[in-house]
């Protein structure tokens, strides 16, 4: 079965966990990692950011849930290297997500903050990612 390679921005995971709507695009993206469809790309910097952000006290996410999500991403995903980009970013912490997405041809970066990244066809919103998956029959 076909897979879509994608880097999942931390804000997508946070939004999915905070959502009260099971059909929200962020929830569906997170579910696509667990079921079929998305093969997440990551590196250790991304995993570290997931852990730090998801563990913030303001979110109150249970540590078991954080571990479950991160372990699932690592288990079914692909540890990828960064491909240097000369693009400029409003927040230097976002560069790693974009550069890891560049590591695999036809990969995407799924984010709720598209303005934080270069205007590129690889940068998509959660809703756009769901549309891509649906077009592929996933």
Token code pair at residue 95: 């560069």
Question: What is the per-residue pLDDT across 38-53, written as a single tens digit (0 to 9) for each?
Answer: 999 999 999 999 999 9
Over residues 22-45, the mean pLDDT reads: 92
Whole-model pTM? 0.94
Comparing CA positions, the residue from 34, 29, 37, 33 lying closest to residue 125 is 29
> Dihedral of CA 122/126/129/135: which sign?
negative
Query: Do the beta carbons of residue 19 and residue 29 sit within 8 Å?
Result: no
Q: What is the CATH number of the domain that holds 69?
A: 3.40.50
Number of domains in the chain: 1
Range of the domain at 69: 4-135
């Amino acid at each position: 079965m076909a897979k879509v390679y994608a880097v999942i921005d931390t804000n997508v995971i946070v939004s999915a966990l905070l959502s009260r709507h099971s059909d929200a695009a962020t929830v569906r993206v997170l579910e696509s990692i667990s079921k079929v469809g998305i093969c997440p790309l990551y590196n250790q910097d991304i995993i570290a950011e997931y852990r730090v952000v998801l563990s913030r006290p303001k979110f109150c996410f249970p540590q078991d849930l954080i571990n479950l999500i991160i372990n699932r991403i690592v288990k079914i995903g692909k540890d990828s290297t960064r491909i240097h980009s000369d693009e400029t970013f409003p927040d230097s912490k976002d560069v790693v997500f974009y550069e890891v997405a560049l590591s695999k041809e036809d990969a995407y970066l799924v984010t709720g903050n598209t303005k934080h990244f270069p205007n590129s066809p690889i940068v998509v919103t959660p809703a756009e990612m769901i549309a891509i998956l649906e077009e592929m029959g996933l």
